[in-house]
Amino acid sequence: MGSNWGRREWFLGKARMLLEAQGVKILNSSSIYRTFPEGFRFQPSFLNQVLAAETALSPLELLEASKRIERRLNRIRLFANAPRTIDIDLLFYDNVVMDTASLTLPHQRLPQRAFVLLPLSEIAPRMRHPVLGLSVSQMLSEVDTSGVRRWR
């Protein structure tokens, strides 16, 4: 999850609470990290956090629940990489590999994103990418983490 608009830490906590209300049991969570924005750089820094969870929802149902939460928390998509109150991405879903118009699992940019890999390595360093066969720790060793700092 990520937020860089308004009360960023509050939005992360509220999104977590709303996920739990949708039947998503949070098993573990990373620290919160502060990250400089990518793409459109003239915006506030992000707070990012990774959650490990279990749910009876299918991947597509979980995606829809996440999008409902983003809408409820006033996520507005003005342009690509625009500031946002909350962004909820599905990174992995067990070892599911899928590529549809609405969802790609594992997340297609995961191996290049230090702001995802660093918090993910905190809670699941040995988790393996089901396509690449690399662990989270191995993927993390291949990216520049200089723009990612622990917040809390």
Active site residues: 75, 84, 87, 89
Structure tokens at 49: 């956090």
On whether the CB atoms of residues 73 and 15 are closer than 8 A, the answer is yes
Q: Which of 27, 70, 50, 51 is nearest to 119 (CA)?
A: 50
DSSP characters over 19-61: HHHTTEEEEEEPPPEEE---SS-SSPPEEE--EEEEESS-HHH
The greatest distance separating any two alpha carbons of the chain, rounded to the nearest whole angstrom, comes to 39
Residue 144's Cβ-side half-sphere holds a number of Cα atoms within 13 Å equal to 4
What are φ and ψ of residue 10, in 5° steps?
-65, -45
